[in-house]
Amino acid sequence: MKAIVIEKTEGGSKAALTQFDEANLMDGDVTVRVEYSTINYKDGLAISGKAPVVRRWPMIGGIDLSGTVENSSHPKWKAGDKVILNGFGLGETHLGAYAEKVRVKGDWLVRLPDGVSPRDAMAIGTAGYTAMLSVLALERHGIAPAQGPAIVTGAAGGVGSVAVALLSKLGYHVVASTGRTSEADYLKSLGAAEIIDRAELSGAAKPLARERWAAGVDSVGSTTLANVLSMTKYGGAIAACGLAQGMDLPTSVAPFILRGVSLLGVDSVMCRMEWREQAWQRLASDLDREKLKAITTEIPLDKVIETAPSILAGKVRGRIVVRVAD
């Protein structure tokens, strides 16, 4: 079968589209025929070797998939079921989605919601699913639109684009932060009420700054997140789900103990199944399909390797769907 295999080399790693023997798939109780995947920031890192994402060699890349169960010994799944898989080490420690088939644990799979096509599921992908997990985290914390605006950082990227669309539909005044101000019209079409240049959040953060928003979804981390926290209103909360700018957080405890601000960590990889299923059901009902269509482009599997550097360079708008099945 066709697969993008990442091999360890003397100088790092190398990815190539090649033939892979299905007999060498890893253990699992469900085999899935992959229809679509996607390219996330983590996929770009794995394919380029820019960060130690891959922890087993050789590795088939791809952390996301939608497809059809081919065979199963798991009691929940049968041949013909339409499924989604996000995370659980796919493309990192377990052979991933950039292949015509995967063999995985049935406990990792989520049923494709009614009204969501396999292609739509990967237009959403880990990025959109993470955005929804972030919104759910804010809701569990009791945050609501009446408390004030919501900031979305990295707004023109995959997580950001979906977060803007979701928060806008929920009634938030959405402030979209981006380094690509040329994307202002695009972000406004998704529901952003205000666009700010990421430079406003790039300087050294003060312990506390003028209160500007009550909620936020941050996929950037580092200095940007530090500034976002310093500008969060009393009792507000920020859901942190990414580290595009870095893993550090140069801030102080001031926002937390003087304004009662909360920093909510959002993990999509090992997230509990209850929250996964809730997120996908909410995406099925809350995400405007026309907006999803507007943020999505599609490429075949043989274009993944050449496309990956663009997502690391911040040149990708919205979401990229990878068509795996011929």
Q: What is the pLDDT of residue 285?
A: 95
Q: What is the pLDDT of residue 255?
A: 98
In the DSSP assignment, the letter for residue 100 is: S
Q: What is the pLDDT of residue 52?
A: 86
Render pLDDT for 169-197 as a digit per residue (tens, 0 to 9).
Answer: 999 999 999 998 899 999 999 999 999 99
Helix (H, G, I), strand (E, B) or coil at 180: coil
Q: Print pLDDT tens along the chain (326 aa).
A: 999 999 999 888 999 999 999 999 999 999 999 999 999 989 999 999 988 899 999 999 999 999 999 999 999 999 999 999 999 999 999 999 999 999 999 999 999 999 999 999 999 999 999 999 999 999 999 999 999 999 999 999 999 999 999 999 999 999 999 998 899 999 999 999 999 999 999 999 999 999 999 999 999 999 999 999 999 999 999 999 999 899 999 999 999 999 999 999 999 999 999 999 999 999 999 999 999 998 999 999 999 999 999 998 888 888 999 999 98
Q: What is the pLDDT of residue 129?
A: 96
Q: What is the pLDDT of residue 326?
A: 81
CA distance 94 to 179: 34
134 near 238, Cβ under 8 Å? no
Q: What is the pLDDT of residue 260?
A: 98
Beta strands (DSSP E) in the chain are 2-9, 12-19, 30-38, 59-60, 64-72, 82-86, 101-104, 110-111, 150-152, 174-178, 194-197, 213-218, 232-240, 262-265, 296-300, 319-323
Domains and CATH numbers, the chain: 2-112+295-323 (3.90.180.10), 126-265 (3.40.50.720)
CA distance 53 to 186: 31
Number of Cβ within 10 Å of residue 82's Cβ equals 18
Q: What is the pLDDT of residue 11?
A: 84
